[in-house]
Structure 1
Amino acid sequence: MPSESDLTKLHIVFNGQKTPPLKVNQLFDARRFNRFTAITGKADADFVNRYLSKFIQADIVLGASPAKHVNSASEVITKVALTDALLAVANKKPVKLFEALSSSNQANVLNGLFKFEYAPAQAIYSRFYLLSNEESGDCRVILGSIDLTEESFTKDRNQYSEVLVFDNDQRLFANLLEHFKHDIKPVLRPYFSDNLLKAAQKQLDESKKDQNAAAAGNNVVILDNDTTDQVAAQDMTDIISHDLQQQIDSAIIPHDTTIAMRNVTTDRSLVKEGIERDTKQHDTIYNLQKLSVSPRAAKPKIKDRQKIYQQVKEALVSGMTPQQRSAEKKYTTFLYDRPMERNLVNNNSGLYVPNDAGTHPIPFGKLATISQIRDSLKSIDDVMKGYQRYVVDYSDNYGKRFYEAIMYSFTAPFLWEIRTKASLNPEDGNDIPNFLILGATAGSGKSTLLRIINQLTWNTDRSLIDFGTIYPTDVAQKKNKTVEAIEHYMRTGSSYPVLLDEIEPYFFQQDQYSRHLVVDTMNELVNNPQAIAPLIGTTNYDSGFTMLRETARRTYYLQIDKVIDEKLKGEANRYIYNVRQTLNNTLFKDFVLRMASLLEDDETPWRSFDPETGRLDFLAQTRQLFRDYYKMAGLDVPEYFADTICDDFKESSRNSWAKLYLTQEDDFKYRESDDSMLFDISKLNPANGFTADSIEKYRNALPIELCVNGINGKRGKFVEIKAKEFFNWIGERNPYADEAPAAAPEPAKNDQQPAEKPKKKGFWARLFG
């Protein structure tokens, strides 16, 4: 084997031929070429001073480094380009680079001969270098994984780089130069801002007035902290208010970039967790490396294989307690969706399950016969007859909730694919929720429905996970750990839904839990489609269920609030037990093949909207498949068949406020000036007969669009509600309709928002150094 010294790590190909390593000044030959254009990842001052000073003109673009955790086009702008630009300025990188340039190169920058640029709203991953001499006509193109840094050309860095050099390839040179001028140049802005250059020029002018400095030939710029603080603040302001706005106005970046900026922090907790997890993993790997060699030997040797194997095993579980390992093992149902392996000719749906021995995956799905389809539909009908017979005040409209849950569960493994086909932009993806919540009262049969769903899709009723027993009661930080476990279940790579029974109300009502799991997961899904398992869960309705608005926006909520007749409970239990003995997943196995066929057909319409509600019906194709089943089986479509999406959370919210108004009418104070009503929400306290969390329940249930000044109308002690819209919403007569004047104009912005607090002095120095 060759030794390390024999290996060529900087591989230079010159006009198609491998050459001995060129020196840097030979590669960037300033004697033969006098003009230099570069798109690079990094540039340090020492390199520029040493190798580029003799060019008479240089244009250097600082591109982006490959980024982690970036999923969508808008995130490239907000989380890569703009974030990097603002961080660079906040950390004073442009100032530090400028100050480190030689005085002659600083002069080149001030005179416009050397330009350093970057793209504050685009990620530039291009890497090429163009050298030319207009007098001789010579040109050179350099392509490769190198930057304008000493490290890129150091032999002993244990890094491999390719450098391709093309001399006098006029066509290639012209092509890249045109690409630079036409495609890249319009998105660039000066890396050394006008604010920085003005400060530098001002200092030079002051030096010229100083006789001692002038006599010493002092032309170098070194700015003080106060000046660089001010430059940083001005530059960050200009990036957002000028550079970014200009690119929006010029349609270089989309107009909805501002929406992405507003939502840039929505999944921040998820990213922070990822960073923390990466840090822990790095610490584990570092320690593993350290322990793999003898601790005290003068020339440490790698330990024998068996010892290292033991250390590796211990390291892999060192970060988990036995309770955490036990919690992880509660999820054991795996169904993997691999669309690239889909082969409909061979009846391969693209779904795979582990074989019985767990040694390898096997395709999931099998076409059913007409008689099997008929038997399956009759079994579902027998389930529904049980609810019809034993649930108090049952109606077919109520029964649609049960059938809707079954159709959602059939569709669940494919939701992530449907989301990619139905969404015109990331925001649309929230209309295809990865969470189905069955809000139910005790004794309504919600847990039984969850078991039935498990049988119809997986042919077992043992895949349910009880929310309250994921961790024992006495475990410290049980709530946090429970949500972490659920997130783990959803991220195993399986697309079979996590079936979660008895989710406790705090999960939906407290921001740190539902926002983290529901909102952050949905944001990740819409920006980066992947098979994150859907969650189907039950929770106690208790006549006051509520969700944070952001959670509700991303959740499909079905309310099952009618109970099984207590007098018939024994008979109902025997009936449903017997029905469940007939249930199997034959229909589901057939369904996945038919749904896979629709997903492969480019003509399948996935954007179907309900004409009444305007909501996207993400189950439209599922409804059609089930209608086809009834037709094939020669059966009538039942009355409890759901024709469109149910919107029970909005209905529940409407009901709550309607009852509140009708029972507390005197507490709603009318304001003629803007046709609104003020309600003191602090009155919803235990002293007045409400529960402890009623304030937040009602606040969450009130739609923002009904509030004066939007979200501001929901905050604080007094809720201000638009009268006309409120009465239309709750379906009650508006007693102020005849006497209400025209709505007054919106208050001036100065009246809506408090004055901004002044920044504390020394912010840049404390935060960024």
Structure 2
Amino acid sequence: MTDYISKNTFKIIQQRISDDSKLSEQDKLITATIFTANDLDNIQTSDLSDVVQTLREDMKIGLIPENTGELVNQINNENIAGTQEFEDKQNDNLKSDQVFELMSNIISKNKGNHRLVTKQTAKKKANKVLSVKLHANDNNGIAIKRPLLTFSSANIDINNNQSGLFTVDPLNKNRLLPFGKRISPDVLKESLHTIDQLIESYHKFTLDYSDEYGQRIYEAILFAFSSPFISIIRSNSGRPDDEESRDIPQILFIGGAANSGKSSLLRVISKMVKFNQKQDDFIAYDLIYQNDYQKGSNTVKILQDWLSEANVTPLLVDELPNDFFTNVKRGEELVMTLNNNVATQHTSYPAMIATTNSEDYTLNERARRRSYYLKHDAVFNDDFKEASLKTYHDIIDKTNNELFQDFVLRFAEKISDDKTNWNTYRNGNKNDFLALTRAIFKEYYQEIDEPIPKYFPLDRYDDANESGQEKWRKLFDYDRENFVYNKKTDRLLYRMSKLDENVNRYGTKPSIAYVNALSPKVKASSDNSIDQELKGAAFFKWIGEDNPFLKGTFLSRLKRN
């Protein structure tokens, strides 16, 4: 049994009862107990103190519950914990995470005062919380088992080089070991040069390479390094119900055409952040759920469960299908559900990096802004296939997790520093959630006395918007005769049903992908309209073209002058 009303709360109630006995009859409260703001602070502080003391006592006898700073006894600098105990305690800690949520549900606020609600109301609210929270996910039928990387900010100990991350000892499954290790300047230089070699291989062997393209490759690496701390970044970026925190993406999509090296990049990233040599490089989307019954929906359900776990192992998934993006019950629902759930989640959770084909990528505006998309479509030149494969194998052989082990310790320092700035806005863009990671990598280059490479990304990208721009730019260029422009209203009409004509396609219509790819700034009609109405000036500015319907008009001559 779990006491959802703590003993410190009862102390306050008892004190109030004693105080009320001194009041006149008309001033006494019959069905509620008043709590001041100070009372609530005292309750929370006392409860947390009790938890810490309980943990210390439990640690002395080897009882290590999950997710509360309990994985390692830092006082004695012990690096051992029983993983069976760890797993057995998982559901118990899910209950303990609900204490403050239950408290907030059974305490109502009126005119600045807090009061305990009546028994009937408390029962209804408690049942609602418990019925949702106390049912563990059941994925026992899934063959794939993710390796364990767990995080506890309470166990960050910079002086003893403890990052708060812990893994299973590969030699003894009944032990958990802290993850993170300082590296020497020589190892640091070698690790950074391996990244340089990776990006240089794209320069040498792909078509249409640019330094801006190399920045996107580096950006994917920075996201992967940050992934175990994505919950910390989000929680420190604003209140759970703020848009600022909701805009911190939990999922990165890497969109690339065939033969652009998406899977190869994913494998390199995997080796960089791998902490268990036996773990797979990544998971093929099609193999996550191997039965045919409701394969699509069940696969997404498994992803949702994994991304809601306290296991912060980066989730790397290869080749998301077209259906994931075009079916609102797949990608859109996954992004939005996760975004809403983690807003109230008290534990850490992992991030996901997934590849897809660039032409397949599209999500509606809500899901786009809450995920991250990097364009990765420079195709490898087959004339250099042998040389590119040799170079890639050399890079894979050199790649290891030593830089990542050092990085997690440095990021832990940022978490421990009360002066850390978690919000960075540049040029009016969204919060650069990777700003701290960029800062750490800039420090790396300073330490090896080398300039920051020109392909190092200095800010977050908006490739999802650019992907939509390209999609509609091509549509306008190749199907211009079916766009109808009204000069008086500056409105552009396009019949979306034309996209679905003569297409033998099961499931979501192609027109939906185009509607989702539109920026809300250019829409002048609802998404369900037969004719998509667009704001003329805004649309042409968005796709980066002049309005051809204005050529020869007074307005076009005025613009030229």
**TM bucket, shorter chain:** 0.7 to 0.9
Q: Secondary structure at the match of 1:561?
A: coil
Q: Distance in 2 between the 1:482 and 1:272 partners?
A: 28
The gaps in structure 1 that reach 5 residues or longer are: 1-10, 19-26, 42-65, 85-117, 129-145, 153-270, 282-318, 742-769
Q: Distance in 2 between the 1:557 and 1:730 partners?
A: 18
- The answer to whether the 8 Å contact 1:467/1:502 transfers is yes
Partner of 2:152: 338
* Compared CA separation, residues 366 and 736, structure 1 to 2 (3 A): same
Q: Secondary structure at the match of 1:606?
A: coil
Partner of 1:259: none
Please state if 1:496 is matched with 2:313. yes
* Compared CA separation, residues 12 and 496, structure 1 to 2 (3 A): closer
Q: Distance in 1 between the 2:271 and 2:152 partners?
A: 23
Partner of 1:658: 473
What aligned pairs does 1:59-74 form with structure 2 within 5 A after superposition? none
Q: Secondary structure at the match of 1:484?
A: helix
Q: Distance in 2 between the 1:479 and 1:274 partners?
A: 29
Q: Distance in 2 between the 1:382 and 1:553 partners?
A: 32
Q: Secondary structure at the match of 2:30?
A: strand
* Compared CA separation, residues 670 and 360, structure 1 to 2 (3 A): same
Partner of 1:731: 544
Q: Which has the higher contact order (CA 8 A, sep 6+)?
A: 2
Q: Distance in 1 between the 2:14 and 2:496 partners?
A: 77
Q: Distance in 1 between the 2:496 and 2:352 partners?
A: 33
- The answer to whether the 8 Å contact 1:347/1:366 transfers is yes
Please state if 1:721 is matched with 2:538. no
Q: Secondary structure at the match of 2:336?
A: helix
Deviations 1:720-743 (A, max 9, x none): 1111111111111134666679xx
Superposed CA RMSD: 4.0
* Compared CA separation, residues 512 and 331, structure 1 to 2 (3 A): same
Please state if 1:126 is matched with 2:118. no
Q: Of residues 629, 635, 645 in structure 1, which corresponds to 2:450?
A: 635
Q: Of residues 365, 374, 396 in structure 2, which corresponds to 1:558?
A: 374
* Compared CA separation, residues 394 and 509, structure 1 to 2 (3 A): same
Deviations 1:374-394 (A, max 9, x none): 010111112112212211222
* Compared CA separation, residues 524 and 12, structure 1 to 2 (3 A): closer
Please state if 1:532 is matched with 2:349. yes
- The answer to whether the 8 Å contact 2:228/2:349 transfers is no
Partner of 2:420: 604
- The answer to whether the 8 Å contact 1:40/1:148 transfers is no
- The answer to whether the 8 Å contact 2:283/2:318 transfers is yes
Please state if 1:467 is matched with 2:285. yes
- The answer to whether the 8 Å contact 2:307/2:338 transfers is no
- The answer to whether the 8 Å contact 2:164/2:412 transfers is yes
Q: Secondary structure at the match of 1:577?
A: helix
Partner of 2:40: none
Give the deviation of 1:443 after TM superposition.
Answer: 1.4
TM-score where L is the length of structure 2: 0.75
Q: Of residues 699, 705, 716 in structure 1, which corresponds to 2:515?
A: 699
The gaps in structure 2 that reach 5 residues or longer are: 1-9, 34-94, 557-561
- The answer to whether the 8 Å contact 1:426/1:526 transfers is no
Give the deviation of 1:664 after TM superposition.
Answer: 2.2
Q: Of residues 400, 417, 425 in structure 2, which corresponds to 1:584?
A: 400
Give the deviation of 1:39 after TM superposition.
Answer: 3.9
Computing the radius of gyration from Cα coordinates, the structure with the larger value is 1
* Compared CA separation, residues 70 and 392, structure 1 to 2 (3 A): farther
- The answer to whether the 8 Å contact 1:498/1:536 transfers is yes
- The answer to whether the 8 Å contact 2:249/2:370 transfers is yes
Give the deviation of 1:491 after TM superposition.
Answer: 2.9
* Compared CA separation, residues 470 and 274, structure 1 to 2 (3 A): farther
Give the deviation of 1:452 after TM superposition.
Answer: 0.7
Give the deviation of 1:665 after TM superposition.
Answer: 2.3
Partner of 2:76: none
Please state if 1:622 is matched with 2:440. no
Partner of 2:253: 437
What aligned pairs does 1:212-291 form with structure 2 within 5 A after superposition? none
Q: Distance in 1 between the 2:14 and 2:480 partners?
A: 86
* Compared CA separation, residues 123 and 515, structure 1 to 2 (3 A): farther
Give the deviation of 1:276 after TM superposition.
Answer: 7.8
Deviations 1:235-263 (A, max 9, x none): xxxxxxxxxxxxxxxxxxxxxxxxxxxxx
Give the deviation of 1:707 after TM superposition.
Answer: 1.5
Please state if 1:483 is matched with 2:475. no
Please state if 1:358 is matched with 2:350. no
* Compared CA separation, residues 484 and 273, structure 1 to 2 (3 A): farther
Give the stretch that moved more between structures: 716-725 or 681-690.
Answer: 681-690
For residue 483 of structure 1, what is the amino acid of its counterpart? V
Partner of 1:415: 230
- The answer to whether the 8 Å contact 2:522/2:535 transfers is yes
* Compared CA separation, residues 648 and 688, structure 1 to 2 (3 A): same
* Compared CA separation, residues 426 and 331, structure 1 to 2 (3 A): farther
* Compared CA separation, residues 736 and 527, structure 1 to 2 (3 A): farther
